[in-house]
Amino acid sequence: MEKSPDQHIIEEVTSGEYKHGFVTDIETEVIPRGLSEEVVRLISAKKEEPEWLLEFRLKAFRYWQTLETPTWAHLNIPEIDYQDIIYYAAPKTESDENQEEIDPELLKTFDKLGIPLEERDRLLHGGTAVDAVMDSVSVKTTYKENLAELGIIFCSISEAVKEHPDLVRQYLGSVVPYRDNYFAALNCAVFSDGSFVYIPKGVRCPMELSTYFRINAVNTGQFERTLIVADDDSYVSYLEGCTAPIRDKSQLHAAIVEIVVNERAEVKYSTVQNWYPGDKNGKGGIYNFVSKRCLCKGYRSKVSWTQVETGSAITWKYPSCVLQGDESVGEFYSVAVTNNHQQADTGTKMIHLGRNTKSTIVSKGISAGKSQNSYRGLVRVASSADNARNHSQCDSLLMGDACGAHTFPYIDINNNTAMVEHEATTSKINEEQLFYCQQRGISTEEAVGLIVNGYAKEVLNKLPMEFAVEAQKLLSVSLEGSVG
Amino acid sequence: MHLLEIKNLHASIGDKEILKGLNLTIDEGEIHAIMGPNGSGKSTLSAVLTGHPAYTVTEGEVYFKGKNLLEMPAEVRSREGLFLSFQYPVEIPGVSMVNFMRAAVNEHRKYRGEAPLNASEFLKLMREKRALVELDNKLANRSVNEGFSGGEKKRNEIFQMAMLDPVLSILDETDSGLDIDALRIVSEGVNKIHTPQKACVVITHYQRLLDYIKPSIVHVLYQGKIVKTAGFELVGELEAKGYDWIKQELGY
């Protein structure tokens, strides 16, 4: 059969190379493969954790053993051998005692990724503080001291367990309990590192806080855990970025992010997820199975999730909002791009419990190649939630004719004062638009970049400036070679 | 060497042949008008010359500045200096005119081996060219053609033409949907851009545009071929008598 020019080009030009696929040559301390109570105890011991945390892990592990892998998502997940994964890998540094000194190899790695670990000048206002996590441990957290002067705690979760045990104990598992789901239970059992943020009452965090996750070691899983607590009248904008080396074998990443927002506080959480997506034939890539949830606990609490998902072989992720406080607000802005053989099943849950609660969902899916891209979202209005409002907009953009876009909206209304709106569109990238660009001298690749960024603009505009520029580039790169 | 030379051009969309052996030669400094009844192939000609993917050339040759035009991808034709003012300009939501034009202008510059314009140089160029067609600054900041009125879209086309400074411009029914004032503004814009080193092809049904942009050579396209070529006087004759007399002359 003769191929259409479209198909021909899709097959020919898959030049969208993954730019972060290098490996850092550093000695890594790993524990033996496999998962058992022993391994859970070993991880806890390595991190010198208190008894209550070990108990937390063991409870989660025992519960996880009773569960089966969920199959409801529109995903084709190859069977994962949990005994074949290494659950703890830590880059070895010469000076374990002296935490101030970081291995130059690690510095280089993060520098190469565009993540500076040196505190440059006094960038406190308008700069970004970074917690850099490689494999199972946090390598360095910058601007910690400056932030501490404002009472802000920003450190790795391991450190928080030691330094602020009461806060961690109070909130850990309070938003995503270990019984929540299969991957959450697994994470609770074996979580390694991640970030902890506490913004005290009335404090507006003067800089962006960010965590950069890097998988480096072979055959490991990354199980990070982030906990953010914003006390009354506080504000923080938090960014998360992720990359991994190019490897033939898939690696598991099962994270939990919990956010607690108190009265009149606001948290903005932005993610640019660029885990290695696998090669163009679908070999390798990260399995990104993540539970993210925010509890808007008080009156007028507000949270805003913004995500740009371009990486991972499989994404299973639903950053959600529990709107418990009256007049609390939840927002979800998402761009999910899938190309080649990538699969994504992503969306959100908006659970309205308080009165006059409001939620907004804007989801932009972009599918190319042979990928499958699903939006899955739940809007639930409890009987207690008088005058709840939701507006959902789910758009899908298709490129070529071998990919799929799916929308699974669930609506569950138990209060008849609720106003819930759902809009959805599906479009194909338009030949006339491409031709118009070409007639002005713009190449197909660049035209696709322009059109896609235009389509996703509403979401990209929600990202902090530097991130938005990064995300725009990423969108174009991820789709290189996807349209004829 | 002619600026554009079309020899025995045959082109189809799907299984349907639209151009059936078209010949046309254009030289620098000339303004050509192409007229003809609906469905005669006028828009197809502009689409084929600019490389629209929906059309297939089945026979014939086209040389632009001595180079084989049909071998060039659409964007290269543009960079070589071929411009089409679209009959129906396309909307691109979320892409601002500024970003769009900047991408286009810099691609053209790159092709000529020139460095990209920096932001202030580019904005200066925008201002200068915008004035030619009295295009509002607000429109330049909006998404490409989105929410533009019919007249604004056409002015925007001529604005882009001014920005890209092509050697050969094809205006495909640029007068359709224009009121008298807009028609004047658009035509004046085109005339200001025109130089003895450039050429223009004006596709239209009506004399009123040609009163402003005065062609030296007028063609009638009918059933995929140029069936009559004459001077400006042909315009008045067609306006007065329609196309039937030509069909009779040809024995259709």
> In the prediction, which pLDDT does A2 show?
38
The answer to ipTM > 0.85 is: yes
CB-CB contact of A281 with A246 (8 Å) = no
Chain B residues within an 8 Å CB radius of A5 = 53
> Where in A274-313 does DSSP place strands (E)?
286-296, 302-309
> Do A309 and A478 meet the contact criterion of CB atoms below 8 Å apart?
no
> Does A2 contact chain B (CB < 8 Å)?
no
Q: Render pLDDT for A320-379 as a digit per residue (tens, 0 to 9).
A: 999 999 999 999 999 888 888 888 899 999 999 999 999 999 999 988 888 889 999 999
Cβ A454–B107 below 8 Å, yes or no?
no
Q: Determine, for residues A436 and B107 on separate chains, whether the beta-carbon distance falls below 8 Å.
A: no
The torsion region of residue A284 among left (phi > 0), alpha (psi -120 to 50) and beta comes to: left
Of B54, B94, B107, the CB nearest to A454: B94
| The dihedral sign for the CA sequence A112, A117, A121, A122 | positive
Name every chain B residue with its beta carbon within 8 A of the beta carbon of A427. none
pLDDT beneath 50: ranges in chain B: none
**Domains along chain B?**
4-250 (3.40.50.300)
Q: Are A409 and A332 in contact (CB under 8 A)?
A: no
Tell me if chain B has a CB within 8 Å of the CB of A451: yes
Beta strand spans in A368-448 (E): 372-381, 389-398, 404-413, 419-428
CA B103 to CA B105: how far, in whole Å? 6
pLDDT at A15: 36
The proportion of chain A whose per-residue pLDDT surpasses 90, expressed as a percent, equals 40
A150 against A484, higher pLDDT:
A150
Binned at pLDDT 50, 70 and 90, residue A473 comes out as confident
**Radius of gyration for chain A, computed over Cα atoms and rounded to the nearest angstrom:** 22
Torsion of CA A407, A411, A417, A422, to 10 degrees: 0
Task: Write the DSSP assignment of A48-112 as a string of letters.
Answer: T--HHHHHHHHHHHHHHHT------SS--PPPP-GGGSB--EEE--S-SS-TT---HHHHHHHHH
CA of B169 vs chain A CAs: smallest distance (Å): 11
Q: What is the pLDDT of residue A72?
A: 86
Q: Residue A118: pLDDT band by 50, 70, 90 thresholds?
A: low
Strand partners, B169: B83, B200
Return the pLDDT at A119: 60
**Phi-psi bin for A415: left (phi > 0), alpha (psi -120 to 50), beta?**
beta
Q: How far apart are the C-alpha atoms of A393 and A319, rounded to whole Å?
A: 16
> How far is the alpha carbon of B243 from chain A, nearest alpha carbon, in Å?
32
pLDDT value at A275 more than 80: no
Which tokens is B61 given?
């040759």
Q: Calculate Rg over the CA atoms of chain B.
A: 18
CA dihedral B91, B94, B99, B101 (to 10 degrees): 0
Residue A1 has pLDDT above 60, yes or no: no
Shortest distance between the Cα of A3 and any Cα of chain B, in A, equals: 15
Q: Nearest residue of B to residue A441 by CA position?
A: B75
- A-contacting residues of B 80-119, CB under 8 Å? 83-84, 86, 89-95, 99-101, 103-104, 107-108, 111
| A471: nearest Cα among A479, A460, A482, A481 | A460
Nearest CA in chain B to A457: B94
Residue A18 has pLDDT above 50, yes or no: yes
